Amino acid sequence: MTRKPNVILISTDQQRGDCIGAEGRGVRTPNLDRIGRAGVRFSRCITPHPMCQAARASILTGKLPYSHGVRDNGRDLDEALAAAGLGGTFGKAGYATHFIGKAHLSSQQTFAPTGRPECYKSAGDFAPDWRGSYMGFDDVQLMLRPHHHTQWYAPPEALHYEYWLDLHGGGQARWDRAKDRLTPDTAHFQAWRSALEAPWHSSPWIGDRAIEMIENKDDRPLMA
């Protein structure tokens, strides 16, 4: 019997395709370059939508925005449609399915609770040890807040990363450092040299959770 391969899909947010060292633009991305050399690079790949929530929904479902309904940020992906997508399909094939990091498949700031974990007004309905399922993935470890100039919401308006930061990193005091700009200033609203110490940023947190996932996997093939 052919052994099923493990599948790990790594996605970044707000990163232009040419912001990779392999594209020759002088950006230092040695690890991404190494992955590219060892695999296949799709240099003609074009996103189906310029907004992140719609693009993620297309990756998850394999459908264009006019089919899955997420035509812009602020439109929630239908959970049944998501469950029939990437995570659910791999799950039915015998894979252990995981989602780690920023999902942003549901609206975060709403006027009323939506019943979804990514909604600030509903996050408190999910216990700190809640791990899914969500959008077709059996095990999830999510973050609710982007590293923009956003205010701190104390738990229970939090998900896994925020609970971790509150418990181990000082919560709001640490979060506020993320918004402090170091010199020289970039003069861009969502791109600045943050005073947040690297170990407390969401990126290494995601990496550490992914390592734990791989080290603790069972006999099933892995999809994350």
- Positions annotated as catalytic residues are 52, 104
C-alpha span between 64 and 98 (Å, rounded): 23
C-alpha span between 145 and 118 (Å, rounded): 9
CB 108 within 8 A of CB 118: yes
Nearest to 171 by CA among 208, 129, 200, 205: 200
Helices (H), the chain: 30-38, 52-61, 65-68, 79-83, 86-92, 160-168, 172-178, 202-215
Interacting residues of 103 by C-beta distance below 8 A, sequence separation 6+: 56, 118, 134, 135, 140, 142
Give the end-to-end CA distance of the chain in Å, rounded to a whole number. 23
Long-range contacts for 169-178 (Cβ within 8 Å, ≥24 apart)?
Answer: 169/200, 174/200, 175/145, 176/152, 178/147
